[in-house]
Chains A and B, each alone.
Chain A
């Protein structure tokens, strides 16, 4: 990309082109991040409203779509209070690692074959490392506030996030095994556009790894059923009890940004990322150089948003785990199964170096059956509840 750009502007020195390019990328990514986290907060509340058979925010703008802007302005105008006996430096510092931890992961997310902030050769490890920053912020927030609820919330979040990091990292290892690289672009190019070429369906163990990845990623993102650090009914508001104004907003910025990162990782590691079918590519290439990338970006977004919406729905459907059950799930089920899936994938690659097509189709169709059942159940439920939700005794 940089080489191409420097060819376009031959009068500028190479380093300047690169610096400008990096700046543009950074601004674009941050804009994207803000433009994702804001509207998705609105979307989540609308979906929650639908699930709970109420309305949700619908006043600011058409269907309330700029509610998030109003919330942002409100948070700007709020007082930024620091409690009396708080550790002031730590208290001020705590939101930044949380915010940074999520934004920094964006730089390696491949939106298309060309659109990527930086295709690092240790991309996966980098993402895991950057994500690790979040826990520092949460525990600092919990400790510095001089409040018992935040302390408990911070401790819980630390225990939870580090426990779920193990299965997360192990499930990513399966992808590394299959692709032989840590770079996200290489991982995507070693998959294909057709579902049977995706890593998720390449063998049963990879499928297990995907499930483990999704569960532990949701836990890393502090979403229900793993939202213990901010469990409202137990710890008031968890680690962010004492925060207000902009600093408070950063935690939620990160939470919703996390949604995108989880979805994008699932899409690019297991579901073939931006890969589009060859037919589409030929068609698009005939129209010009831009269109293939538009298709790729759209494909990537489609795959990402499926998981974003699924996680949002999970939050409003499931209850919360208890802290010892949380630990048990991570250490007693996810971690051993992640080991099994690593060994199994290795074995599979040795036994079937070219892959086993029958198993791929079997996995694909079982997944389709699950999705089909889900859709059928959802439609049935909608039909059932429609009459019930609209029930009015006195008109």
Chain B
């Protein structure tokens, strides 16, 4: 656990640095707020509709895909970390087949994703 202390301290220092910069710039460049300046930018015209609307489902689908794959890939890491020592012990083929089954399942998922057409974004379909 001790090896994570530098990470924590760097985290705090980076946060402090960021905070200090923003704090300094608050005093050096005091905002003079005017109505026009605070308007949201919409290419020079008044904002007609609010941007806070439910956005397209495609992004949601991509997020779900990511969740699925990222978790599965994280599960592959321990397998990969022990692979080398297993090979030197002569268990290489067995471990490889194990990994292959897992990757095969992931690959089937990938093929399924292609088939459902989530990635087909053209023409509004």
Contacts and interface: CB of A to CB of B under 8 A. Distances in A.
The reply, when asked whether chain A contacts chain B directly with Cβ atoms under 8 A, is: yes
Contact of A104 (B7, B31, B81, B113): B7
Contact of A120 (B4, B17, B95): B4
Given A26-B13, A121-B3, A180-B81, A173 B66 contact: no
B100 A343 contact: yes
Given A76-B28, A350-B96, A324 B121 contact: yes
B17 to A, nearest CB: 6
Given A166-B66, A170-B73, A173-B77, A78 B25 contact: yes
Contact of B85 (A147, A155, A180): A180
Chain A contact-residue range equals 35 or more
Contacts of B52: 143, 146
Nearest to A85: B40
Interface in A1-50: 18-19, 22-23, 25-27, 29-30
Contacts of A323: 121
Nearest to A2: B2
Interface in B63-80: 63, 65-66, 69-70, 73-74, 76-77, 80
A23 B9 contact: yes
Contacts of A120: 3-4, 7
B4 A118 contact: yes
Nearest to A323: B121
Interface string A88-105: 000010011001100110
B17 A30 contact: yes
B76 A147 contact: no
Contacts of A319: none
B87 A166 contact: no
Contacts of B84: 177-180, 349
A86 B37 CA distance: 13
A176 B62 CA distance: 27
Nearest to B86: A180
B6 A84 contact: no
Q: Give the dominant DSSP class at B's interface.
A: helix
Chain B: interface size category: 35 or more
Interface in A142-175: 143, 145-151, 155, 158-159, 162-163, 165-166, 169-170, 173
A235 to B, nearest CB: 11
A36 to B, nearest CB: 14
A29 B10 contact: yes
A115 interface: no
Contacts of A92: 22
Given A27-B13, A100-B14, A331-B113, A81 B77 contact: no
Interface in A337-356: 339, 342-343, 346-347, 349-350, 353
Contacts of A79: 29-32
Interface string B12-54: 1111011001101110111111010111111100000011100
Given A80-B22, A96-B15, A146 B40 contact: yes
B43 A236 contact: yes
Contacts of B37: 81
B122 A324 contact: yes
Contact of A353 (B10, B13, B70, B88): B88
A339 to B, nearest CB: 6
A328 interface: yes
A22 B3 CA distance: 10
A143 B40 CA distance: 13
Nearest to B26: A80
A180 B86 CA distance: 10
Q: Looking at B50, B55, B73, which has the most chain A CB atoms within 10 Å of its CB?
A: B73
Interface string A366-394: 00000000000000000000000000000
Given A79-B31, A118-B3, A173-B77, A84 B40 contact: yes
Nearest to B88: A353
B70 A246 contact: no
Interface of A: 18-19, 22-23, 25-27, 29-30, 75-86, 92, 95-96, 99-100, 103-104, 106-107, 117-121, 125-126, 143, 145-151, 155, 158-159, 162-163, 165-166, 169-170, 173, 176-182, 236, 241-242, 245-247, 249-250, 323-324, 327-328, 331-332, 335-336, 339, 342-343, 346-347, 349-350, 353
Smallest CB-CB A-B distances: 3 pairs:
A180-B84, A324-B121, A162-B66
11 contacts: A80-B26, A81-B37, A96-B15, A104-B11, A120-B7, A155-B59, A165-B70, A173-B76, A177-B83, A339-B110, A349-B84
